[in-house]
A and B are shown apart, each in its own frame.
Chain A
């Protein structure tokens, strides 16, 4: 096939914006895995739920199309914050109902309840909005810039910027606040953290709150970006975001970000140069290869086997 540098540059932009969404979801996976070593299968569905919540909020606000002027900021802020709060609470409820009782059980047990929760969420969304794709209003004006032959859309810039800003805020929270310190301590050693006076139940709930809130933000962004969603969206996106978290080094926040952008790029390039129908196969092959050859990921540290 003839290699076209313009197409490559175009897919670079597409891949980065796709990757911004994966990165936001991957942060939730990596935080939860970092603290309780659980692959939270339901996380991808919390992300889809974020799109559903955003849609409901926009409907309440009476928004059906592009908003301009100062109202745009109000609408976007209200919707994102609303989706983040609702998703965050969903995450906390899931942890309380399905995972907390099993914290000391064999590892298979919470993994199986996580799959169960994922199925439950998907089917609740199926009841809520039906099986067909649901249109999402184009809230944000979307002027296009051209850089040579490459087109950049405003919403692509928004996705990338939002992902980076939220990531920086999160990093600052985890490394510069007392609660963040409690989270890191709990991740290192739950028993020791508890002896130091940290309430590990609250800390773990907080981790779920933040991770799920980020998924909520990603849900809003993906609604605007794709212009539609459906109840099963989170399954594929969740798997890819998990792949991103593993690729970057699970438990590592910057790694999740890097992995997210890389997976976005891989997907965009596969779609362009190999074929759309192979993109899932390629992404999952990446997952398998990373896990075999570098299970600690690009930025992660090798974890010792806990005895």
Chain B
């Protein structure tokens, strides 16, 4: 029995259902910030939460629809800059935060469609490289158009969210609860999409685009919907993170960020919502706690090695090792696990799995 299964079976009956486990996870998340010793931990949780949102968004594009988007940070950039331009002294526009959540995610979704419309006819690997190119163009453009975007300095002193007279201020706690709310929304949306007609169409395209098209799925609009939906999530994350940091600047949105988010998916399990959340939290924690602590530990052993410099090396190793040895991720969806490991339990399935694999279906 796996560890996860053992934990599940030790839970009281009402919590063993999917809904029960989700409720339990959110209950834990609600008390989590009060367990830390200082504001630093809450700050970390709020940032990590924003990346969970990003991972959930990319999961729709890569995990559900099977479109490798290597420039996802571009949509994150567009969402963040939309918020920054409409809620700062930059142009003297100060729209209310809650309205901007919709506007920024809407703008990001529109750009998802604008980029997707001409490129989604491309084969998978070409799409990857075009999105990568787009991911390079967008931050560079924000950097170059300095009369509007503040160039390398970005846009600062952004408006803080407020509920009536209560302003969020500089403490991370209200931002954390806001992000948690947005995650709840995103999980709800993603989960419902997954089992909807659209979600099933995405997965059909992921498994075999040609067959899906022959079954009457309009592959272009379906893929566009994935791009738009994924991009809109990054708009939410952009608003949340930009309002918390009070700043956007072009260096927050490089290729590294896109790969960081992709590594979360690969680690946790592409296509599986709990897996993606766990993968995202693991990598955020690795970056914020494990590497600095490890470096301190090495220093105490008089080894002068700075592990924080090697985080991209670690993401690279994660991508390679996971794809080679556990392509379904740490917490796979039951379906994917069955596809990739049918042979482990049932020797007669081995031949079938081999056929699936060679034909590129699995």
Contact B315 A116 (CB under 8 A): yes
Contact A102 B323 (CB under 8 A): yes
Residues of chain A within 8 A of B118, CB atoms compared: 288, 292
Instruction: Summarize A's interface: helix, strand, loop or mixed.
Output: helix
Contact A239 B317 (CB under 8 A): no
Contact B136 A277 (CB under 8 A): no
Which residues of A, 30-48, contact B by the 8 Å Cβ criterion? 37-39
Residues of chain B within 8 A of A243, CB atoms compared: 133
Contact B320 A116 (CB under 8 A): yes
Q: Does B66 contact A (CB under 8 A)?
A: yes
Residues of chain A within 8 A of B255, CB atoms compared: 235
Tell me, rounded to whole Å, the shortest Cβ–Cβ distance linking A51 to chain B. Answer: 20
Which residue from chain B places its CB closest to the CB of A126 in the assembled complex?
B309
Residues of chain A within 8 A of B132, CB atoms compared: 239
Distance between Cα atoms of A45 and B300 in the complex (Å)? 34
Tell me, rounded to whole Å, the shortest Cβ–Cβ distance linking B307 to chain A. Answer: 12
Which residues of B, 138-155, contact A by the 8 Å Cβ criterion? 140-141, 143-144
Instruction: Summarize B's interface: helix, strand, loop or mixed.
Output: helix
How large, as a class, is the contact surface on chain A? Answer: 35 or more
Distance between Cα atoms of A239 and B255 in the complex (Å)? 12
Contact A113 B129 (CB under 8 A): no
Which residue from chain B places its CB closest to the CB of A282 in the assembled complex?
B137
Q: Does A83 contact B (CB under 8 A)?
A: no
Take A119-B259, A284-B134, A287-B133 as given contacts and tell me if A107 and B70 are in contact as well, using a CB distance cutoff of 8 Å.
Answer: no
Residues of chain B within 8 A of A127, CB atoms compared: 309-310
Residues of chain B within 8 A of A113, CB atoms compared: 319-320, 323-324
Contact A106 B362 (CB under 8 A): yes
Contact A119 B126 (CB under 8 A): no
Tell me, rounded to whole Å, the shortest Cβ–Cβ distance linking A194 to chain B. Answer: 13
Take A108-B68, A126-B309, A307-B210 as given contacts and tell me if A285 and B259 are in contact as well, using a CB distance cutoff of 8 Å.
Answer: no
Which residues of A, 238-255, contact B by the 8 Å Cβ criterion? 239, 242-243, 246
Residues of chain B within 8 A of A118, CB atoms compared: 316
Contact A111 B130 (CB under 8 A): no
11 contacts between A and B (CB under 8 A): A105-B360, A108-B124, A111-B68, A113-B320, A117-B316, A122-B312, A123-B309, A281-B144, A284-B136, A292-B122, A307-B210
Besides A108-B62, A123-B310, A280-B140, 6 other A-B contacts (C-beta < 8 A): A39-B129, A113-B324, A117-B316, A281-B144, A288-B130, A292-B118
| Residues in chain A within 8 A of chain B (CB atoms) | 37-39, 97-98, 101-102, 104-113, 115-120, 122-124, 126-127, 235, 239, 242-243, 246, 277-278, 280-281, 284-285, 287-288, 291-292, 295, 305, 307
List the 8 closest A-B pairs by CB distance, nearest first. A116-B319, A119-B316, A123-B313, A284-B133, A116-B320, A120-B316, A116-B316, A113-B323
